[in-house]
Amino acid sequence: MPSHNVVLLLVATLLASANALLATEKTECSSLRQLRIPGSNQGRHLRSTMISEPNGDERSNPVSALMSKISAKIPMGMKLTFWQMLGISDDYVKAKLGLTGLEGAELKAHKNYRRFEKYVETAIKNDFWTKAEGGYPTYSMWKLVGLDHIKTLGQLAAIQSSEQFKLYKRYAIEFDEHILRRFQSTYSRPTWFLAKDAPPVEIYARAQIWGERNREVEHVLEFLGLERASKEVLRQNPYFQHYLKNLPKA
């Protein structure tokens, strides 16, 4: 296909997608869009903000109808790239891939399932990077994924394999990686690591992850504000001890 035709088709796809976005309602302003965890219960969503799918009949809008006809000629891979750039919701993409209404084995057996899974995975990765870069606290993610009912270490131990905790843990690791990258800068070294209103159980979760990731002791001490603490203070600090407990066994 001639290059100028490719450009025209790309522009048409972009316009069609943008037109779809303009036709939708937005909730609060946030960079974390609707998320669906691949492989979890279909229909369960972790939401903060969402850009909904286009509503309304395209046949009543001549421009939308024309854009749809042009868009139909564009390879799906190219459309997915543009939808990712525009932040189109995963429900909309799922519908366009012919996956709406499918569940379980039937869903995973569909030829487009892997495409959808990759789309969601990339969206989550981009969202988390943006959140960490913007200083979104791990405790806010803890609440967002629905873990604010967890109050004790026993409850924390019981949710380790849950999709909510896995998602939180993934963000906490991304947040820590961002912090550690900033440690190398003399101009933007971070000054806080834990949300002021973070409950003890969320700090225990962070300490667990630091241990499992084998974070350096000096970094963990700074995370906890214990850089100048005596050995006795460290021995009595429950979060530092929880970090030590979760270090990889030699």
pLDDT, tens digit (0-9, with 9 covering 90-100), for 116-127: 988 888 889 999
The predicted model gives 210-221 an average pLDDT of 97
- More confident site: 5 or 226: 226
pLDDT at residue 86 in the model: 82
**DSSP 8-state secondary structure symbol assigned to residue 35:** B
- More confident site: 41 or 232: 232
Whole-angstrom distance, CA of residue 91 vs CA of residue 53? 7
pLDDT at residue 199 in the model: 98
Q: Are 159 and 150 spatial neighbours (Cβ–Cβ below 8 Å)?
A: yes
Domain residues for the domain of 225 are 135-250
Question: Are 51 and 170 members of one domain?
Answer: no
pLDDT at residue 30 in the model: 31
Tokens 């405790």 appear where?
A: 139
Question: Are 139 and 40 members of one domain?
Answer: no
Neighbours of 241 (CB within 10 A): 14
- More confident site: 30 or 202: 202
Number of domains in the chain: 2
- Determine which of 30-39, 81-90, 237-246 has the lowest per-residue pLDDT on average: 30-39
Which residues make Cβ contacts (< 8 Å) with residue 79, sequence separation at least 6? 13, 17, 71, 96
Does 129 reside within a domain?
Answer: no
pLDDT at residue 189 in the model: 77
The predicted model gives 228-236 an average pLDDT of 97
Question: Are 28 and 104 members of one domain?
Answer: yes
Question: Are 5 and 119 members of one domain?
Answer: yes
Question: Are 194 and 114 members of one domain?
Answer: no
Whole-angstrom distance, CA of residue 52 vs CA of residue 20? 9
Question: Are 115 and 145 members of one domain?
Answer: no
Question: Are 157 and 224 members of one domain?
Answer: yes
Does 130 reside within a domain?
Answer: no
- Of 124, 154, 184, the residue that ends a domain is 124
- Of 104, 124, 144, the residue that ends a domain is 124
Whole-angstrom distance, CA of residue 190 vs CA of residue 181? 10
153: pLDDT confidence band, cut at 50, 70 and 90? very high
- Determine which of 14-28, 135-149, 165-179, 196-210 has the lowest per-residue pLDDT on average: 14-28
Question: Are 188 and 250 members of one domain?
Answer: yes
Whole-angstrom distance, CA of residue 37 vs CA of residue 208? 23
The predicted model gives 77-94 an average pLDDT of 83
pLDDT at 16 over 70: no
Q: Which amino acid is at 211?
A: G
pTM, two decimal places:
0.72
pLDDT at residue 85 in the model: 82
Largest CA distance in the chain: 74
**Nearest one of 187, 167, 12, 20 to 91, comparing CA atoms:** 20
DSSP, collapsed to helix, strand or coil, labels residue 127 as: helix
